[in-house]
Amino acid sequence: MERPHVTARGRLWRDAWGGVRYEFLVPVRLSETARAAFPELNTASGPTGGGTALWGPVEDEADLADFLARFANLGLTVVEMRVLPD
What global pTM score does this model have? 0.77
Average pLDDT of the segment spanning 16-24 = 77
Q: What is the pLDDT of residues 60-77, one digit of tens each?
A: 999 999 999 999 999 999
Neighbours of 54 (CB within 10 A): 24
In whole angstroms, give the CA distance from residue 9 to residue 28: 28
